[in-house]
Structures are given as structure tokens and as C-alpha cells.
Copies of this chain bind each other. A is one copy, B any other.
Amino acid sequence: MHAALARAAPSAAVIDLCADLPAFKPRAAAYLLPAYTAQAVPGDIVIAVVDPGVGGTRACVCLDADGVLYLGPDNGLLAIVARRARRTRAWALPVSPEASPSFHGRDVFAPAAALLSQGAIPPPWPAISVDSLERPAWPDDLAEIVYVDGYGNAVTGSRVSGLGLGLRAHVGSHALTLSRTFGDVAPGKPLLYVNSAGLLEIAVNGDSAARCLGLDVGTAVRFEA
């Protein structure tokens, strides 16, 4: 359950996003995906797989969101990307009878990305209505922890826009004010900041916020403007 970004032909390149998406939780990952791919340009190809329903009835799709091509399961993972895009198109990916029912990343999405990277745009798959894709009733920003990185920093699914500079976050019994970077608070103290992908994130200067504050994917955060 990983996201990878490739640049389409002729200057094919693969950019490793250096971040696993949270396992089993398409809703949490749905808010990371547009943040992680904010710098993608038209023609870029993104494979995103958080896919607990792999091999079941959910479809495999390609979503063109403002020219960036996303490949993934139709389980809501692409819903926030689709909602924020100005122009969208979609296609249904073929699933070979030989595909492993437990590993569509290898047998469906990767071959589809390979085809796109060879310049097959628009792709030769059946076009489907973007309105037919999964559109869960999820909020525009998610006030929850959606990812904990290797340092124990805890990323929320919320952007700062509209929340304002006097912003505070409440998590458990902690109230955090908005800082710029780790060293703006004393070592061992928690902070709230806008991370490098544009999401509000909770960290502890020089330590693990997840451990110090008891945070995990799904922990609720209350923002106060």
C-alpha cells in the first residue's frame, strides 16, 4: 500500500514518494494523496494502492485529474483528488483472469502504468463517468491523524486554509498553537505546524509525537480558529 509517481514518456522517471500510505484505511490515505502529489504535472502517473477489497467487487480505475493520471482501486482512495480537480475523466482498468486476487498492485496497476508511460494517453480502456466512481460523504478536510511517519510525527488530513493564524489544535488533553518548525518550541515540547506537503502536522521537538502524545492513525484532532 504505497504510492509511486512516474513521469510519462518520453522523459520517463519514477519518483519515490518516500512514504507508505496507511495500511487498510483508504479514507485516511485519500487525504494524503492530493498533498503528496501536489507538485505532479500533467502527464505524470501516480499508482496509489490502499486496497483491503483487492480481488473483490470494487473496480480498478484510472482517474485523470487535471492531467495527472491516477491508477488505483475505486474504494474512495481517489475521491478527494477527484473532488478537488477542475477537470476529470475516468476509465475502467481491465483485470486479467490471471491476475493474483490479492496483488492488483503488481498485476493490474503496474502494467497499466507501464502502458501509460509508453505514451498511451488517452488509454485504450473503457471510459466511465467520473460521477460513477465511489464518492463517500467524507469532509473536505479530515480532522484526524491520517499518517504517522518514521520519526513519530503525526500528519492530519486538514489543510491550514481558512483556519487562520491564531489556530490551535486540541488532541487528548493537549492544546497546541501553530508554530513554524520544530525548534520554535523547547526540546520535548509538542507543536502544530504546516508540513512540507501542506497538511497540518503534530510533532514533538526531538522526539516522537506519536509516543509522547499517544497518537495513531484515526486519532481525532479538534482545530480551533
Contacts and interface: CB of A to CB of B under 8 A. Distances in A.
What is the interface of chain A mostly: helix, strand, loop, or mixed? loop
A55 B102 contact: no
Interface stretch (A29-37, A79-87, A176-184): A176-184
A54 interface: yes
A23 interface: yes
Contacts of A195: 100, 102-103
A172 interface: no
A102 to B, nearest CB: 5
A119 interface: no
Interface string A1-43: 1000000000000000000100110000000000000000000
Contacts of A20: 150
Interface of A: 1, 20, 23-24, 52-56, 100-103, 106-107, 150-151, 180-184, 193, 195-196, 205-207
22 contacts: A1-B151, A23-B150, A23-B151, A52-B182, A52-B183, A52-B205, A53-B182, A54-B181, A54-B183, A55-B181, A55-B182, A56-B181, A56-B183, A56-B184, A100-B195, A100-B196, A101-B180, A101-B193, A102-B181, A102-B182, A106-B196, A107-B196
